[in-house]
Structures are given as C-alpha cells and as structure tokens.
Structure 1
Amino acid sequence: MGHLITVAACSLNQWALDFEGNLQRILKSIRIAKERGARLRVGPELEITGYGCYDHFLEGDTYLHSWEMLAALLSDKSTFDMINIIGMPVMHKSVKYNCQIAIHNGKILLIRPKKYLANDGNYREMRYFTPWTKKGVTEDHYLPRMIQRITQQTTVPFGDAVLATHDTSVGIETCEEIFTPLSPHIDMGLDGVEIFTNSSGSHHELRKLYRRIDLIKGATSKLGGIYLYSNSQGCDGDRLYYDGCALIAVNGEIVAQGTQFSLNDVEVVTATIDIEDVRSFRGFSASRGMQASNSQAFERIPAPIAFSNADLEADPTVRPAKIQSPRYHLPEEEIALGPACWLWDYLRRSRTQGYFLPLSGGIDSCATAVIVASMCRLVAEATKNGVEEVIEDARRIVGEDENSEYVPSDPQEFANRIFHTCYMGTENSSIETRERAKDLASVIGSYHTDLNMDSVVTAMRNLFGLITGFKPTYKVYGGSNAENLALQNIQARLRMVTAYLFAQLLPWVRGRTGGLLVLGSANVDESLRGYLTKYDCSSADVNPIGGISKTDLKRFIAWAEKEFDMPILNKFLNAVPTAELEPITKEYVQSDEADMGMTYDELSQFGRLRKVERCGPFSMFSKLVHEWDLSPTKVAEKVKRFFFYYSVNRHKLTTLTPSYHAESYSPDDNRFDLRPFLYNTRWTWQFKRIDKAAAFLEQHRQAKAAVNEDEID
C-alpha cells in the first residue's frame, strides 16, 4: 500500500451574476467533497461570477461582489481542512485577470492568473481579461481590507507558481490552457508537480467530448500524474450549454467521470488514488528523467496540509479507483439531452409558465417538440430520484403553491401543464400535416390547439388591394414572383404574431397567471441559406434546434422513435420537407430542397467549409470539385448559388432567435459568426475565378476523355 489521497472535481450549474446562488452551490460542492474524504477540491472556471458575464467583467461591481463571496468562503468552517481552488476575476495592479484562487483554513495560498485566454468561436476573453505572460514569476498582491480582516494577510502571491503540500505538489491550469500546444502542465510536470487541476468553462457541441477527453488523458499519458478536470454545467444565461462531465485521470487513464447532461445543480466526482503510482510511472522512463533534470524550477508556495490519509492506508479494504473506459453519448442522445437541459434552465430561471410552439407537422417543429418531451422526461426522472431543486422549480412553474405535494412524475402530465402547441393552418396546408401535428401533440401530452388563419391572411390581402387597387396572386395562378413571395411571407409573419398572442393568453384561458416562452424551429442549414422569412415563426424567444443540421435532426428523430417509443415519428421522417405556403395543385407541390436549389446534405458541407475550414467561394469550389461526382461547371453553379443566397439573406442572420449552440458551423451572427451583413452579392472577382477554373478543368476533362477514346479505338 502506498500513499492514498482522495481528490474531488465538480460540475456546477452557475448563473451569471447570481452571486448568492453561485456561493451556495460552491459551498454545497465543498461539503459533498469533504464528506467523501477529499482534501483537494477544484471547481469550474469563474465559478463565483458565472462564466457568461460578458461585458459585466468590465464593471467594478463584479470584482467587488466576487471578493465579498470569497470572504464568505474564507469564513465558512466547512471549507477548512482541505485545499479549495476557486475561480473568480481579480484586478491586479489595475489589470483584470481570470484567476484561480487556492484557499486553505481561512487563508489564501496563491492567486494564479490564466496564461492563455480563449478568444475564438464563442469566446472573447481578451475583451475582458489580460493573459499573465510572466512565466514562473509571482508578485505580491495587496488584498482588499475585507479579506485582510479575515485572513490576517496583507499580501499573497499572485502569478505563475505551484502549491507544495507536505506530501505532494499541485499545479493549476484553466480551461484553454489544456488546448494549447505547450500546455503549462508539461513544464510543471517535468518540475515534479504530481497533481494538475483544470477549472473549465467549456460548452457543449455535438461530438466535442471526444476531443476533450483525449486532451485530458493525453495530459498525463506521457508525463504521468493526476489530472482533475472541473467544468461548468447548464445554461448560465446565454446560447451556450456547459455540459459538465467532470473527470479525474491518472497516468493517462480515466478513473472517475461525471455525467455530461444533468438537471442537478451540483455534481461532485471523487477518486482515491495512490500517489506512488505516479512516481512509479515517471521513474520508469529514463528520457523523462533527462528532460526533468533540465526543466525550469517553479516557485513552490507552502500549503500546510498533507493529502495522504493514514486512515485510508490503514484500512485493508480500501483500494485506489479503478481505470474505466470513457463514456460517450451518441450525437442523437446529445440532441435529446443537451437542448432539453438548456430549455429547463431557461424555463426555470426566466420564471415563466411554460413553452408555446407552432407545430407545423414538419420535421423541424417535430424535433423541437420531441426535445421538450425529452425535457419533461428528465424532469420526471429527477423528481423520482428526489432532486428537491427540480421538484420546487416544477411546482412553481405549474402554479402550485408552497404547500402543494405535487410531483411531476409523469412526463405527459407535466407536458400538458407547461407545453402548448398549435397547428396554424391555411388553405395551403395539407390534411396530412394537420393530422401529424395533432397525433404528435397527443403522444407528447401537450395542450394542443388547431386553427385556420385564412380569414386573417385574406384580410391582409384585401387590405392591400383596397389601398393600392392591386390584389396579389400566387404564381401557380399567374402571379409574379414578387406577388408569390409576398403571399408566402405574410402567412409566415402572421403565424409569428398569432404565436405571441396565444403565448400571452393561453395561461389566462387555463386559469393561470403569467406567460409562455415562444419556441422557434429553424434548423442551422435553413438559417445558413436564409431559407426562412424574416420575423416569421423562426422569430421566437429561444430556439433549441437553431444550431443543429437537418441531417442530425433526422437521425435524432429516428433514434427517438425507438428510444421514446413514439411510432408517430416515422411519419415525419418519411414526409417531404415543405413550407406549405403555396397552393397545392396536380402539377405542383412545394418542396424545400427544390425551392432552395440544393440538398440539406450539400448545405451541411457548404456550412462546414465556410466556417470550420474558413473557405471563401474559390477555396470551396477548389475542394468540392474533387469531392463531388459532378462536372466542374455543375459544382461551380452550386457554389455560386450558395454564396449568392447566403449573402443576399445575410441580414436575416442578424435577427436570428437565440439558439442552442450545438454545431461548429452555426451562422449565429450575435456571438459566434462575426461577418458583414451587407455583401456584394455578385461576388464579382471570386465568381470570375471560379468560372475560369471550372472552364480549365472542363477542357482538361474533355481532352482526357478524347485521349481515352483514341486508346480504345
């Protein structure tokens, strides 16, 4: 038996600027970790403020209140007899830093500022903070007087150092630093640091967890050591969902893993580890020893505590945590769980009474409805497991009083109380879509209404005719493109107005107070192409599928059909996607892909090349001409068509409903995809270069074909 230590990593559902709530969740995690015997506890990045404060990090109040919450932690005896690493912003010498603060027994041991800031995609940390660039350097940080009175310290070390306990050493990383090529844990590990902590604010994207776990395992697979990864969890006030999944790894292997999606506000994972395993792992490699002997020495900050536990070592039944295989969800499960947890946080924290969804009978609104159903299933599961926070929130949302014993144990019953759907038909709607919407609502349990909007649409049409003397007509009846588009758009926009009317008044109809949040259901591909009406039903309060591709949504529905036992979903899978905004005739039925001039699979490829691989029109053509089994001229036509419609509709993306961020090629203009919204839609020079390259390739292809024919002859 070696030296056994117990360590803890946490996932906390923090909320931006909810200082008191964040403090209580931190304290709860510390108490749980302590009850399990942990002597080191690490929490998420910026856990005191919440990660998503954005420009509030520029305000002095944010720093003042952070110190006030830290003062409460330093004064609370439940934090004693262990080292706690707490995330908060700190201003040092009038410069703002994203910091981790190590505390022990009412004292501050070290303030460690983040060295490498996340500043791409959804992240703008350099807008608020400055990276610490003084490698291996610490300075004196003068504490606020409120902290001095508690700790009896005037200054504490601030900078790049490590903690030295009586029996081991601890190095601190923060989120982005593990993603960098030369991560801090490398130099720290070569200098003998045996435990690494990472406090993270890492959001969910489909299929992203694989990369995160590979990095965590890789951090110690060559170096050796113990790696504790803590992450934020939940919706802290924005489009992102932080997916938790706290991890503990030893020598490149996972020994503890938390859940990735959960309605619990606090989750703590612990592991008992033999520190001698790290020393044995490192001592085996002579080359590591050579590198370590030449490594830079870090300043070691004394921490008057021993992590190894004599009681554990004396108990013959105690064994170190076993290696386990990482757990991953299928992308279909991620869609079922991530957006559902996000919707629950949004619902309970907005203090509204439920959701309203225009249910069209198509696959997009169907997917949105099934995600709400998944949310109801998660709520019912959590209440069966006795999660008090979920029970209390559910009672308040449905309008039960404080003395109520109501428990939402049945997903359909709960859905009927908080989920409202409506089929808004017109003369262009089909019987099939109306029936699909009705049947799906019945299976989910939503409070469903059904209406025809023809009188409203006709009134608008007649009003225009009365004012102008012209009455617009659909194209199939001889009208122009302008008339046809206007008549489609007015239907869509009137649905949005109707949705908000019903969302405000349906609770009143049902004898309740308050209002409903309106859900949007435009997928990421339609948004990218601009295949939606500005201020139609894509305009809502929140959109759980706005960052998910059509392809992934279809896979999700196929998965949910079996996993949620919803046979009705098969009808949605086999239906042709259609907006149903034009009259159906014997010769014409409106189809999304025919309207767009491209398939949804092609749109996904365009989206990934445009955003993830950072391709302009010419680069995109140059890649696809070798990937697609089409002539260069056809590929050129498709690429130019995409960029024309993308740019001409770009203004729509500035008004997109806030959507759950799930896809790396999301065109969300508000946070993620910063582009102009007034383009030269002709892309004059770019399209000329494409045409020139396509013509050259066509000539080359024809010449090669002619040579082949001659050889055959």
Structure 2
Amino acid sequence: MRDGFIKVAAGTPKIRVADCRFNAEQVFTLMREAARQGVRVLALPELCLTGYTCADLFLQDTLLRGAEEGLATVLEATKNLDMVTALGLPVRHQGKLYNCAAVIHRGEILAVVPKTHLPNYGEFYERRWFEPGGPSDRLFSLCGQEVFFGADVIFPCESMPGLVLGVEICEDLWAPEPPSQALARAGATLLLNLSASDETVGKDAYRRSLVTGQSARLVCGYVYADAGEGESSTDLVFAGHDLIAENGALLNERRFTTGLTVSEIDVDKLCCERRRMTTFPGAGEGRFVSVGFALEPATTTLTRYISPTPFLPEDARDRAGRCGEILRIAALGLKQRLEHTGAKTAVVGLSGGLDSTLAVLITGIAMGLLERPASDIIAVTMPCFGTTDRTRDNAVELAQRLGATLRRIDIGSSVKSHFRDIGQSMEDHDVTFENGQARERTQVLMDIANQTGGIVVGTGDLSELALGWATYNGDHMSMYGVNASIPKTLVRHLVAFVAGDKAAEDEALSHVLEDILDTPVSPELLPAIEGRISQKTEDLVGPYELHDFFLYYAVRWAFPPRKVLRLAEHAFGRCYDRATILKWLKTFYRRFFAQQFKRSCLPDGPKVGSVTLSPRGDWRMPSDAAAALWLDALEELA
C-alpha cells in the first residue's frame, strides 16, 4: 500500500458444478494462497460457489442452501485474512433469485451486489432463473449477518485514501451503460468484474479490448475474474481468461488455466489523473451506499513491469510505428509553419550530433510534404574550438546525402574577436567561453535566415529543456523547435529508425546516421583532446535514460520524489545502485526548478507525446519556484 500501490488478483478456482462444499474449499484455498502472495483485493468468478452452468438446478432449494452454506464455510475459513474478496453465488432476496457478488473481509460480508444486466440471448438464459439487480433498498440477512443488498454500493478503504472498490458482474461490462460508469463517477477507482464468459474463437481479443478500454475511459484499475475448469462442457467451454488493467494498460492476463493472476494497481496514479482531467467528475455523483473497510498498512512488493524507457514502446513493431508517427507529426508542424510564414528556406545548424541530425531529418520530411526540393534546407556547420573531425565530417556528409544546401562557416575568429571585446581570456574555459560560441552560432543562423528569407529550425530536445542544458538565447532560441517535445532517449531511436529505413535505398546515408548514433553526446564547446571529444554531457548532468525516466514520472504523473526513486530502482536496479539513482535524481530536481526561466520563453514547437514543457501548453510553472520541498524529501531518503 506504500506509495499508492495495492496488490490485486483475479482468481479462477477449479470447481465442480453444483458441488458447493468442494467449491467452497477451492475458493478459500485460493484465497489463502492469494493472501500468502500479499494480495489485498481479490476477484473470483461469477457464481463460483455453485458453478455458472447449473441451469435449472438454480431453481432447486437444495442448491441455494448449499451456496449459502458454502459462503459461511468461506467466511469462517478466511476470517483472519486481511484481504477483500468478491465471489459469486446465487442469493434469494424478497422472494426472487439474484446472480450476486458477495464482498467479504475478515469473515464479514460487507455487501451483496446483484448483477444488473442479465443476458438472455445466444447461449445465455439468465432471465430464466434470475432477476436483474437495482438500487439498495434495505438490509437483509445472509449467513447470519445483516448486510446491504444492491448494485449501488461502493467500498472505500479507510486506511488507503483513494482506494474505492466497485463491483459489476460479467454482462454488466458488455452492456451499453455498464454499472462501472456510475460507480466510477461515485468515486470507485478499482472495479472488480466477476465473470463467466465462455470461450469462442476471437472472443478473447474483444474481451481484452473491453476491459482495457473501460479502464481507460473510467481512469481506473479493472480486475476481471473469469470462470474456467470445472464448468459444464455440455455446450460451452470456459477458459478462465483473467485480466488486470490500469487506465488502458494491460498489466497481466492468463487464459486456459486455473489459479491467480496478480499485479499491482497504482491508486495514486489514477487519483492524480482524475484530478488533472477537468472532464472527469468529482467523486460522490449519484446516490450510492458507502460501505467502508480498513486494511492494515503494508509495503506492496512490486511485480508489475516498470519500463526503463517510458517514452518508448518495447515491442519492436510498436516502436517502429511510433517512430514513424512522431516524425510525421513533427514534420506536419514544421510544414504548417513554413507555409504560414512563406519561408523560402529552413535554416538548420548541423553539428554532427543527434539533435541537429533529427531536426534536419524532420525538415527534410516537411520539405517533401510541401513538394519542395531538399536544397531549400540551408544546413550550416560552424566548427569552433571543440569541434572534432568526426562530427564535422558527419555533418557535411549528412547534408550532402540529404541534398541540402551546405554552408561551412568557421566561427573561431568571430568568437575570439568577441572575447577580446569583452576581455575574456582564451585560457579561461568558463561558462562565458562556452556560451559565447553557442550564441555566435545562433546569431549566424538567424542572419542567414534573414539573408535567404527563411526561418531557423531549432534542434534542442525535451530532455535538454527539462535540465536547462541549453545556452539562453543561444541554442535555446529558434523560430520553430521541432524537437521540443522529443526526449533524448527517443531522439536516438528516431535517428536509428531512419537509419534502418534508409539502409536499402541509401547505404551511405544509413552509414553516416549510424556513426552519429555512436558518437558521444556533447556540445563540443571545450577544446578537443588529441582530436577527441573532451566534454561528454552525461558525465556532467547524468545519464539521459535516468533523466527521461524522472521527467516522465515527475511531470506527467506528478509523483513525489520518494515514489520516483522507488520506481527508478525497480526499473534500473540491474544498471544503477540506489546511491547513483538518488544522486542524479537530486540533480534533476535542482536543475528542473532552477532552469524554468529558459522554458518560460520557449519558441513554438509541436507536441508529439504526452509530456511537453511548453509554457503555452502542458506546463505552467513560476520561474522562481523553490525546489526545497522536493530536495528535502530526497535528503530524508539518503
């Protein structure tokens, strides 16, 4: 439960149709196993105490008494388990029979939730035996306890703010207006679905899309527990397709087996997203009965996968598709700007590094969309004190392979003249020495744009903007920044994608892109040592893979420093120790706050993903905000 995580499970016990004693034993055995694994919320299948396929046996009093006795057995056997469980059984109420979920905790029934939408088509005949559920009307007696009965019940956890359970049953999700919609509006953040969905070819994909889609639409966790082995195979087969989803992401699933499907739901993440979304209603909408429960606080061991590259899909096919789409979006943004301004040229400072390479590639795509020649791109390489032969040669080769108009302007003499004017020693390699070169390059680009009736295309990326790793009014400035919402880790993959895409048609272009990918990230503002890069960015500010991870969780999800650190340890534990991660996390927060003034006056640029730092778009922050609270929180963890 620490850091907002709650371990949940969908369980499929092996059952025997109409054998309530056997089924009760299988249920409480599975519950005990779930508790042993640290599960705090468990969903079990629809009618699992009797079997879903009992048919007209549901009209037999013997079966109904057996189901209630089975529930009593489960309550007694699990009264010491600090775990909320929802399990299915038929329940008699006011002279009618209902298909219900009993929600239990420590031997007590919290409430009984009836199924709202009863299927009576195809292979389903539920209206033959059951009545549809409705709002709560009164308490009723079950297993000697007085409990609420109704579909309008939510279950808030008193010891974990934000965790609110809601329950629906199988067909309820497939209906046009699932009860989960109203439950979520009432505040439910974790929905449990007790299901007995038979298996037919292709149905698993539809079921999966329903569960993940509903979790996204309602910004919730969704646990779907399906009936499996032991249900009657007279006409149907049940595969036990258990799924756990969170806000559109499938965390875990199993099919054609019994047992537990386990993962962790990030309740804090869901609550944060609901607060952020102004279209999501506040909790408490509608008239709902609230039945609380309390769980003993405990640390939740994480088993869910935390990607070290949150900006990138890990599947190769998905990654390729994402790269192509990002390039297209960025190019369309630049295309619109070129059309609107009537720019005759697009001027790009080409250093031979990753960022400027991506910028010129995007510019090339934009020119293609405009049906204009690549020669309208003015690629300017501006060697100075730290430029190495490798980066200079790669910049020249890249421009030539793309068909851009290349201009080579050595800025060394101009910078030296400027240094003489301001009294800056060439031996003093301080920030003035570095920034003087960056500002001179920007001046050259702006003036060339004026000469040619063009605009300067910016090359700075999202990671650099987050860390403030840009010279104010130097590479910080342009007329349109195409990389502005692309983090460094993604820049690398985009260039690699183009290199692979061009390998067949232009081997030389692919080769130069590969060499650029192999070149250390550097601003090359300090003199080279024996012809090699002397200034490596990641030695100074830290690994970009860590900073991009920090950026995603600190900005996109507003996680506190402790949680960002915990997730980073989980994702990068094999690569970095805790002390290293903590060191660079402190650097991230310190620089992120101190460098906001550079982001407050950013040039325009296209948003391509869920995280951007544009002061006109997703991120508004005072330039003089203090980082003390965030840094103090990290000091407590040191």
TM-score (structure 1 length as normaliser)? 0.43
Pair member with larger Rg: 2
TM-score (structure 2 length as normaliser)? 0.48
